[in-house]
Amino acid sequence: MTLISLPATPIRVELGPTFLFAGGGSGGHLMPGLAVAHQIRASLPHSRIIFVGSGRAIESTVLAHSGFEHLSLPLEPSTSLRGNPVRFAYKNGKALQAAVRLLREKSPAAVIGLGGYASVPLVAAASMTGVRRILMEQNIVPGRATSWLSRTASLVCTSFEETAELLPRSVATQCTGNPVDQTVAALHAQSFGRSRTSILVLGGSQGARGVNQLALVAAERLRDRLAGWRIIHQTGSADVEMVRDRYQTLGIDAEVRAFFNDLPEHYRSAGFAVTRAGATSLAELACAAVPAICIPYPGAIRDHQTKNALHLAKYGAADVISERSETATGAITAAMERLLSDAAKRRKMAAAMAKLARPNASQRVCEAILDTAAARHAA
């Protein structure tokens, strides 16, 4: 038998468009971006998706198993402007130059700004080079990055109807809701029965000492009421050992971690949550129909967390407690006691929370991005 050698025929794979997601610094900015990135990948399997952030540790934590590329720019946060303006100007000037080079190298169909200072250089560079720019604003009050970048953006996707009124009239907006992971969005269609016997304590993706301390005080005061309940407490890395030891000393059933990668599983069993009022945390709780006791971060830019929380409270889905109030410890203890002892109140607040959910937000933002990118090529 004679074997005939045939020339190899290369297999050609058609590569789809590239999308750059600009931002980071916190899970609250990254998680909505990830949800949308997965939607884009589902719609365009051969698309290339790259996250471009600031290099903070939380970005590696959140993106480590995402399957998407991750790059960093040499950024200096806006908080350093007063202390060292020369360093601020130098480093962010370098970041802008690097962003322009990145855009020329990758030729993206669109840049998606996720908010925060980490989004600014790449979105600004996209404006300079004519790349389509879609901004995602998670909070009811637009952040400084969104306010500045929106003036030249192709579109701003908002989580709340009221946000459009706080942007210049010339800005194109679409209220899409705040995207959440599909595993969280799917909870909205599920019935959990009445076996919700855990309490979530969430200080955001990086933890919050104020929330940790208030929750511990309330837990100590309500020790007897907590029989049959389990506390799921995300502390952030700084307080994890202290909080774990305190629950053990009090004899309270608690699972304590610096950061939970499996929060959707815990949403299923949560009767209520004690939480900061970042928009992404609240959007996830809404999809899971988990009532909230909100303790807004008092240092939030433009006090956006308080406004997020008050929006939920207006519809009966949350209680709001000021961390700096002299009565904060009494208020959180009373709020937790009401929910622990009144199942009907928990159900009523859960129903109100579910009505505020936007489980299809990631799909709506994805469609807006693809439509905006397509409009550029059609022009």
One-character DSSP codes across 161-227: GGGGGGS-TTS-EEE------HHHHGGGG---TT---EEEEE--TT--HHHHHHHHHHHHHTGGGGT
5 is written with which tokens? 């050698």
Q: What is the pTM of this model?
A: 0.88
Please choose, from the candidates 113, 110, 77, the residue with its C-alpha nearest in 3D space to the C-alpha of residue 92. Answer: 77
According to the model, what pLDDT value does residue 366 have? 98
Per DSSP, helices labelled H in the chain are 27-43, 57-63, 85-106, 120-129, 144-149, 182-185, 209-221, 240-250, 263-269, 279-287, 304-314, 328-341, 343-355, 361-378
Alpha-carbon dihedral angle through residues 71, 77, 80, 85, given to the nearest 10 degrees: 70
* Residue 28 annotated as lining a ligand binding site: yes
Give the C-alpha separation, 281 to 287, whole Å. Answer: 10
According to the model, what pLDDT value does residue 290 have? 97
Residue 161, number of CB atoms within 10 A of its CB? 10
According to the model, what pLDDT value does residue 336 have? 98
According to the model, what pLDDT value does residue 295 have? 97
According to the model, what pLDDT value does residue 5 have? 44
In the DSSP assignment, the letter for residue 326 is T
From first to last of its 379 residues, what are the pLDDT tens digits of the chain?
444 444 555 544 457 899 999 987 777 889 999 999 999 999 999 999 999 988 887 788 788 888 899 998 887 666 665 666 767 776 778 888 989 999 999 999 999 999 988 899 999 999 999 999 999 999 999 999 999 999 999 999 999 999 999 999 999 999 999 999 999 999 998 866 657 899 999 986 666 889 999 999 999 999 999 999 999 999 988 899 999 999 999 999 999 999 888 888 899 999 999 999 999 999 999 999 999 999 999 988 889 999 999 999 999 999 999 999 999 999 999 999 999 999 999 999 999 999 999 999 999 999 999 999 987 655 4
CATH class, domain 184-356, is alpha beta
Spatial strand order of the sheet with 270-275 comes to 254-257, 230-234, 198-202, 270-275, 292-294, 318-320
* Residue 66 annotated as lining a ligand binding site: no
According to the model, what pLDDT value does residue 193 have? 60
Task: Name the residue ranges covered by the structural domains of the chain.
Answer: 16-179+360-375, 184-356
Residue 34, number of CB atoms within 10 A of its CB? 23
Contact 282, 273 (CB under 8 A): no
Length of the chain, please?
A: 379
Contact 229, 31 (CB under 8 A): no
* Residue 205 annotated as lining a ligand binding site: yes
Query: Can you give the C-alpha Rg of the chain in angstroms?
Result: 23
Contact 188, 289 (CB under 8 A): yes
* Residue 55 annotated as lining a ligand binding site: no
**Coil, strand or helix: which one is 70?**
strand
The Cα-based distances of 248 to 146, 203, 218, 229 in angstroms read 44, 20, 15, 15
Q: Which residues pair with 231 in a beta bridge?
A: 199, 254
The Cα-based distances of 162 to 33, 142, 174, 178, 282 in angstroms read 21, 10, 11, 14, 16
* Residue 139 annotated as lining a ligand binding site: yes
102 is written with which tokens? 């990145």
CB-based contacts of 314, cutoff 8 Å, min separation 6: none
* Residue 27 annotated as lining a ligand binding site: yes
How is domain 16-179+360-375 classified at the CATH fold level? Answer: Rossmann fold (3.40.50)
In the DSSP assignment, the letter for residue 122 is H
CB-based contacts of 344, cutoff 8 Å, min separation 6: none
Give the C-alpha separation, 125 to 128, whole Å. Answer: 5
According to the model, what pLDDT value does residue 293 have? 98
Contact 167, 156 (CB under 8 A): yes
According to the model, what pLDDT value does residue 91 have? 76
